[in-house]
């Protein structure tokens, strides 16, 4: 089943000079989207008309990736890493940097910068973040087989380390917190989906579902549907589960309009997926561009995309 034609959707094109965003989060209070930047590190905001404006300029942000809005505590949480394509990339941080930066939602002032990579040896890549109701943040590491946790007070630790997270290239990627008290995690290179109870992290479960290769961001809506954004195929796949995510069934798929979708968010009864075009920034020979898209993907089978726009597929990251 496909999500539908592209006749009536309200996707949001926006532009900023070679931004190459990776993370997306919605701020319901002012109806704007936060977007990160692998290339420049800065955090920006995009309104419904597609107007982009910078929000955070911070030298600590080598590459900014996954984002999470914590309205309860007035926080914007930002994953920081160095994949080697930032204007701030250097040998000391490339493939090793992993931090969680926290900013005031209203002012953009940094309130914390938590080191994660220093907790264990090896390569590190802080990719995505989810926040529990108690304020605990959970961060995936794509280069080492682990998940970090950060308390509301800023104390960081390794929640779990498991060989099932091991693999070539990008491993753990997207993460969401389920209201029932567990985490769902995506692994990019083999397309597996995991269920993890942070109270019992030693009991890792694999969700029985078809492999979703190139799985990147995850979005959980208020009807227990899970959207999987697959940058490896350019697919956007909607899953549902009747058994608390022991198993999952594919409900619908669609394609990203531009290359390399990375992640998404849930806003006003719709999914929104970031079309990031990261294939350009990771290819030294590719021309750089500055136009990006927040693609609307409704959850009820209604139209998706922009009228007349063709679909294209991305690459795995």
Per-residue pLDDT tens digits for 79-130: 999 999 999 999 999 999 999 999 999 999 999 999 999 999 999 999 999 9
Is 6 a member of any domain? no
Answer for the pair 34, 50: CB distance below 8 angstroms, yes or no: no
Give tens-digit pLDDT for 122-145. 999 999 999 999 999 999 999 999
- Kindly report the backbone phi and psi dihedral angles of residue 15, in degrees, each rounded to the nearest multiple of 5, phi listed first: -140, 145
DSSP β-bridge partners for residue 261: 275
Q: How many domains does the structure of the chain reveal?
A: 1
The CATH number of the domain holding residue 27 is 2.120.10.30
Q: Which domain holds residue 167?
A: 12-298
Sequence-distant (6+) residues with CB within 8 A of 52 are 14, 15, 16, 19, 35, 44, 45, 46
Is 309 a member of any domain? no
Collect the ranges in the chain with pLDDT lower than 50.
4-8, 301-317
* 3-state percent helix, strand, coil for the chain, nearest multiple of 5: 5, 45, 50
Q: Can you give the pLDDT at residue 8?
A: 39
125 CA to centre of own chain:
13
- The number of beta carbons lying within 10 Å of the beta carbon of residue 126 is 28
Is 97 a member of any domain? yes
Q: What is the dihedral of CA 121, 122, 127, 133, to 10 degrees?
A: -20
Is 139 a member of any domain? yes
> Among residues 3, 2, 1, which one has the least CA distance to residue 299?
3
Is 196 a member of any domain? yes
Q: Can you give the pLDDT at residue 298?
A: 78
Is 304 a member of any domain? no
Q: Each residue of 271-302: b (16+ CB within 10 Å) or e?
A: bbbbbbbbbbbeeeeeeeeeebbbbbbbbeeb
CA distance to 26, 69, 235, 258, per residue, from 313 (Å) = 24, 28, 7, 7
Q: Can you give the pLDDT at residue 299?
A: 75
Answer for the pair 63, 83: CB distance below 8 angstroms, yes or no: yes
Is 241 a member of any domain? yes
Is 310 a member of any domain? no
Q: Is the pTM of this model over 0.85?
A: yes
């Amino acid at each position: 089943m496909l999500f539908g034609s592209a006749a009536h959707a309200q996707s949001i094109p926006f532009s900023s000079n070679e931004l190459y965003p990776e993370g997306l989060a919605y701020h319901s209070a002012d109806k704007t989207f936060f977007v990160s930047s692998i290339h420049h590190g800065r955090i920006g905001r995009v309104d419904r008309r597609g107007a982009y404006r910078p929000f955070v300029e911070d030298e600590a942000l080598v590459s900014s990736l996954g984002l999470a809005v914590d309205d309860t505590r007035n926080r914007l949480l930002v994953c920081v890493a160095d994949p080697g394509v930032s204007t701030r990339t250097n040998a000391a941080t490339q493939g090793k940097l992993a931090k969680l930066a926290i900013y005031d939602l209203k002012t953009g002032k940094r309130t914390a910068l938590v080191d994660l990579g220093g907790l264990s040896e090896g390569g590190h890549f802080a990719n995505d973040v989810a926040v529990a109701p108690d304020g605990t943040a959970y961060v995936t590491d794509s280069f080492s087989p682990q998940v970090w946790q950060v308390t509301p007070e800023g104390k960081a630790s390794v929640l779990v380390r498991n060989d099932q997270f091991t693999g070539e290239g990008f491993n753990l990627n997207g993460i969401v917190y389920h209201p029932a008290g567990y985490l769902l995690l995506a692994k990019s290179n083999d397309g597996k989906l995991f269920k993890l109870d942070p109270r019992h992290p030693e009991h890792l479960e694999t969700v029985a579902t078809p492999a979703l290769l190139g799985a990147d961001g995850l979005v959980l809506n208020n009807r227990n549907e899970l959207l999987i954004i697959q940058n490896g195929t350019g697919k956007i796949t909607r899953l549902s589960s009747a058994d608390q995510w022991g198993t999952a069934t594919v409900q619908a798929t669609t394609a990203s309009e531009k290359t390399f979708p990375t992640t998404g968010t849930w806003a006003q009864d719709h999914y929104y997926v970031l079309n990031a075009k990261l294939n350009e920034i990771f290819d030294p020979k590719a021309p750089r561009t500055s136009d990006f898209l927040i693609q609307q993907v409704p959850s009820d089978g209604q139209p998706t995309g922009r009228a007349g726009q063709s679909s294209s597929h991305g690459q795995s990251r």
